[in-house]
Structures are given as C-alpha cells and as structure tokens.
Structure 1
Amino acid sequence: MAAQTFSKGRGAQSSQASTRFNIAAREADGDWQDVHDCVDGPVEKLRTTVTVEHPKAILSFNASPDVPFDRSINAYRGCEHGCIYCFARPTHAFHDLSPGLDFETKLFAKPDAARLLRETLAKPSYRPAPIAMGTNTDPYQPIEADYLITRQVLETCLEVRHPVTITTKSDRVLQDLDLLAELARHNLTWVGISVTSLDPQLSRLLEPRAASPAKRLAALGRLVDAGVPCHVSIAPVIPSITDCYIEGILAEAAKFGVSAATWIIVRLPHEVAPLFREWLQTHFPDRAGKVMATIQSIRGGRDNDPRFGMRMKPEGVWADLFRRRFAIAMRRHAMSRPEVKLDCTRFRRPSTDGQLSLL
C-alpha cells in the first residue's frame, strides 16, 4: 500500500497494515489528497490516544530459551517512543491495528496491573522468580507520568519483597529511584538502560520520543550513585547505522561508574522488516542495501531468524566482528556481563484483602 506522508516526531513512515491476519489496507489517493489540502487544509497532526483495558491477568509466563526470565509484566501495549526497530510492533496487528504509526499513537494502558499482580502472588501455588518489566514495550514511556502503573507494580513488589527487573530507554526511571533504591537494598532489583548511539540527531530518527543518549547515560550514573545494580544495554546494534558507537557507549557508561554491559543485534520479525526498510530508504538511502545485506548475512540469508534458541544468536563474520569489538571494549573498561542473582527468599505472600500473610 502507499505510505502516508511522513510524520515528524514519529518512527514509522507509514501505517502499513499487516497481511498476516487479512487486515484491510487503505491506500491514500493522490488526487483526493490534493483536493482535501485545498479545501480543508493539511491532514491534522497525529495525536497519541490511550485506551484503558482491563485484562484478567497481568503476569505472562514463557518457556523461551532466548530470554533469561520466565515471567514478565507489560503495563502498556504500544509505545510512544516509536523506535523503528522495535520487535514488539507486530503485536498491534493482533488487534487489527497497524504495527506502523498505530503502534506509536494508539496506546493501551492497564491500570489494574498492581491489583492483578497481588491476586496472582496471593495464590498458594505461586512460586517467586524475578519479574521482568520492559520486555515488550517500555514501562517508562511518556504516558507512565500520568498512569503511574509501573510505579504501582514496583510498590507492590517492594511490599511483598518480590524481585523485579527493569529495561527502559527513558530517564523517567529516576522518578522511581526511591523505590528502586529500597528494592536494591534487599537485593530485589536490577535495571538495564538501552543506549543505541551517542548521536542525538540519529537517536531522534531511530527513537523519536525516547530520552536522548546523554540523559540515559546520566540516569545510569544516578542509579549507580543510589546503589541500584544496573547495566548499559547496546540494544539493538544496527550494522552500518549504530555499530560505530559500540566502543564509545561503553567508554561513556564506564565514566558514570557502570560496570556491566550487554549488546543485542537488531531483530526484524514480521512487519518490522518492511517498516525498517521503508525507514532506511527515507533516512539512509545511500546505505540501505548494505545495511540489509549485512543483517541478512547474520540471519541465514533472511531478514529475521525466528527459530527458538537462535533469535538472539547472530551468526557469520559480521556477528563475530561485533562480538570481538564488544569484548575488547569491555576488557578495556573492566566491565563484565551482568549477573542478575536476585533474592527470592524474602517473598511474603499477600492476601487478597490487601494484607500480608503472616506465613
């Protein structure tokens, strides 16, 4: 389908519909657009809308060998950060919405999250293990300032002494520094902040509504000073777009006292691949072919390798080069991989009436 006019401040270049679920695609007609602009003026700027939803459960379990956790909470669906490479974009297609601009502008909030979590933790059959937040969409995207769902979940975890990890691209995580510091005091939390480049202009193209790289690095420093275990995550590394910043990001993070780091190569599942190609042609047409050829070389000739156990394991000479560069830079700054060993023995099962169990 034809792309919409590029919307400044958004990551996707269009509202490409998914073809996996037979969602009807609408194509803009050029003649109609000319008449509309003359009579009614330009199309109104895209606005963010939030729909409140009330799921029956908030804790999701998985058995994937690709991730180091077996349970997670996603307080929001969709993400206003608008990261063009976000692997969560295809989830919007399940709801007849575009993984493109709809994913960034039509958001869903789950204000019952803390209550639902309490109900799950109160079940006699529940056994504690770290809960991961930020695994799909960012728990500190802009609307968290209004809904405070992430904060409420952290308050519940602190109350019942349940371990929880955070992954974010936002310095808004500092709004909950009081809770995170207290959780850290009991060895109940770990925070990862993703930094993809050191160029604010590039970041505005890649992640238009996420915090600037400087703010994310400064947030890591604040976490370190507060005694909150944290690491810098170079995620994702995009060949010929962001890989040149690997060494620089680790060097800057080390200046803030960060001693742990990870990296993840870009993934382009389902509708993310065409959206990413469209973005490349808009912003980097001179190297679009090289970028995609490199990505395919580390994914067995495909845009994405969906196999369990292989999704997070790039292969080939380019992947080996990135690994060596990362390892050398880590040694240079005395950094290591994060070892998240949180304490599950302090868990105190809540009762459904809001009181903690005496057992």
Structure 2
Amino acid sequence: MHFTEAKGILSARNGMNIYRGCTHGCIYCDSRSRCYQMSHGFEDIEVKRNAAELMEQKLSSKRKKCMIGTGAMCDPYMHCEAELSLMRRCLEVINRHGFGIAVQTKSDLILRDMSLIEEINAKSKAVVQMTLTTADENLCRTIEPAVCTTAGRAKVLGECKKRRIPTVVWLSPFLPFINDTEQNVRRLLEICVQEKVLGIICFGIGLTLREGNREYFYSKLDEHFPGLKEKYIRTYGNAYEVTSPENGRLMKIITSECQKSGIEWRPEKVFEYMNAFPQEKPEATQEMFEF
C-alpha cells in the first residue's frame, strides 16, 4: 500500500475511485490488464489519501445533485478500507451534501456502513451492487480467494432488503468449463429472487481476457485446474471475448427467470435506473423499487 495526493476524485460521469489496485485476489480480474497502465504492482494499493477532501470540494461546487458511482474498476471495500475508512468518509460527504450513491463491491465490509447508506437512501437514493459468480462456496474460495464468499454477499443483499435499500446483482464472470453450468446459474438466480434484487446485469456467459490479466488467469488455471489452460488456448486462442459454449442456453434461462420474478435483466434499463437521481424523494419507499 502506498499513498498519493490526488488532483481529482470524480470522473466526467461522476465515478469515484478511492483506491487503485486490489487485494481480493480474483483470478479473472480485468483490472490487471496492461491497458490500464498501472505503474505499480496490482496488490500494492495506491491510496488517494485526500479523497474525502476532494469530494468535499467537488460536491460543494456542484450545481446539480446526481448519483455518485464507485467500484467499477477497483472495489472500494478492499482490505485496507477496514483500517483507512476512506470510503466511509466519502459516504459521509455524499450524505451531507444530499447526493446519491451506487456502490459496487464483492465485500461484506460494506455492512459496516449500512446505516450510513440507509440514511443516504432515505434522503436521496442509494443502490448496492454485489457481484455473484458461483454458488459453490469451495469454488468461490478458489477463484475469489481473499474476499467473502457468496454466502457473505447474500447476507449483504439480505440486509439491504431488510433496510429497503435497492440492490443490483452482477452475474459475472462465468468461466468456461468451471462455473458456466445450469445448476450454478439457477442457484445464483434463487439468491437474487429470495433477496428481492431489482436488477441483474449479465452481458453474457463468459469473461474477457487481454494482455496482463490473461497471463495471470492462465497461471491460476495451471495452479488450480491442471490442463484447463491448454483447453482455453485450443478453444479461444488470444480472443478478448471468451464466450462459453453454454452462452445461448444459459442466457435464455436468466432472461426467463428474471421475467418470471419481476427482475429487470436488460442492462440499459438497469443502468438507467442506477444513474437516475430522483428529483423529489418519493413518499412511499416502494416507488424506489420500480423501474
């Protein structure tokens, strides 16, 4: 971990990244790709020590309230957040200025800040996004070794349901020949239905591989799934989009089950919902649960 004094904290689309790099250890992480030009080791987390101060300056000068997004590139609830609490401090700034938050994570550390997120949702709008990849706890510990398993993430979704905080689940990635099975997809969908998520984001059954993350992923295949790397190379070569042979069939299951359960499955609609800042806070909280 190392610290930097950042010059900015929000992207043009109001995305916030407090950290750069990650310590969750997910074997497939696209953020390892060399195209992102990270000048330090991926596990050597770059910390924007002045993140909260920058947020204060930025939100104080913003004329129009909006949703603030975080977690798309690097998880805001990685291990160092437990010590540094920079995400919590930024949430406090967001809450104080009446902005909304859409946070994406794999970590149950978010439970620490649930009361604060609930307060933001009561004033404006909060959306919690969790990533689910496999219902097999042992497999989860293999492909996502340094973060809570799916059971822990389901607990987060359940806590959000209890507090009436809207949730979205990212069903991705599905690693061909590993977790791209009907049984796995249906078990993950059962969690989503049980915890009453609003939307599911799934762009397809597969993953992306490019220079940087491909090499790391293949090294982990050699470590945990001997012989599978060679099958990937034979099947996909150096393709960027690594699509499962089960893609068509499993995507139909996801669409069908979402329609049956009233869960939004169209990515553009889910993003539209998450990006929309309410002009007036609805009297009935239930209205926040409608697309």
- Structure-2-length-normalised TM-score: 0.83
The structure 1 residue matched to 2:277, chosen from 336, 339, 343, is: 343
Deviation at residue 127 of structure 1 after TM alignment: 4.6
Distance in 2 (alpha carbons) for counterparts of 1:247 and 1:170:
22
1:1-359 pair list within 5 angstroms? 50-61=1-12, 70-90=13-33, 94-97=37-40, 102-104=41-43, 106-123=44-61, 127-244=64-181, 245-264=184-203, 265-291=206-232, 296=236, 302-304=238-240, 318-337=246-265, 338=270, 339-340=273-274, 342-343=276-277, 345=279
Instruction: Report if the CA contact (8 A) 2:117-2:126 is conserved.
Output: yes
Instruction: Report if the CA contact (8 A) 1:191-1:229 is conserved.
Output: yes
1:59 alignment partner, SS class = coil
Distance in 2 (alpha carbons) for counterparts of 1:91 and 1:59:
22
Distance in 2 (alpha carbons) for counterparts of 1:79 and 1:92:
16
1:190 alignment partner, SS class = strand
Return closer, same or farther for 1:240/1:115 CA change in 2, 3 Å cut-off.
same
Write out per-residue CA displacement over residues 285-329 of structure 1, whole angstroms, 9 at most, x where no aligned residue.
2433444555x3xxxx64315xxxxxxxx8796543332132123
1:253 alignment partner, SS class = helix
Distance in 1 (alpha carbons) for counterparts of 2:48 and 2:82:
14
Distance in 2 (alpha carbons) for counterparts of 1:280 and 1:127:
47
Distance in 2 (alpha carbons) for counterparts of 1:209 and 1:79:
10
User: Unpaired runs of 5+ in structure 2?
Assistant: 281-291
Instruction: Report if the CA contact (8 A) 2:52-2:90 is conserved.
Output: yes
Deviation at residue 278 of structure 1 after TM alignment: 1.7
Write out per-residue CA displacement over residues 234-271 of structure 1, whole angstroms, 9 at most, x where no aligned residue.
12122221222211101123223334222244122321
Instruction: Report if the CA contact (8 A) 1:231-1:262 is conserved.
Output: yes
Bigger Cα Rg: 1
2:259 alignment partner, SS class = helix
Write out per-residue CA displacement over residues 164-210 of structure 1, whole angstroms, 9 at most, x where no aligned residue.
21000011111111111111123421111001101222112211111
1:233 alignment partner, SS class = strand
Choose between structure 1 and 2: higher helix proportion: 2
Deviation at residue 123 of structure 1 after TM alignment: 3.3
Q: Which amino acid aligns with 1:246?
A: V
2:173 alignment partner, SS class = strand
User: Unpaired runs of 5+ in structure 1?
Assistant: 1-49, 62-69, 306-313, 347-359
Deviation at residue 56 of structure 1 after TM alignment: 1.0
Distance in 2 (alpha carbons) for counterparts of 1:325 and 1:144:
37
Number of residue pairs aligned between Structure 1 and Structure 2: 271
Distance in 1 (alpha carbons) for counterparts of 2:149 and 2:35:
26
1:191 alignment partner, SS class = strand
Distance in 2 (alpha carbons) for counterparts of 1:95 and 1:237:
25
Distance in 2 (alpha carbons) for counterparts of 1:151 and 1:267:
31
Instruction: Report if the CA contact (8 A) 1:76-1:107 is conserved.
Output: yes
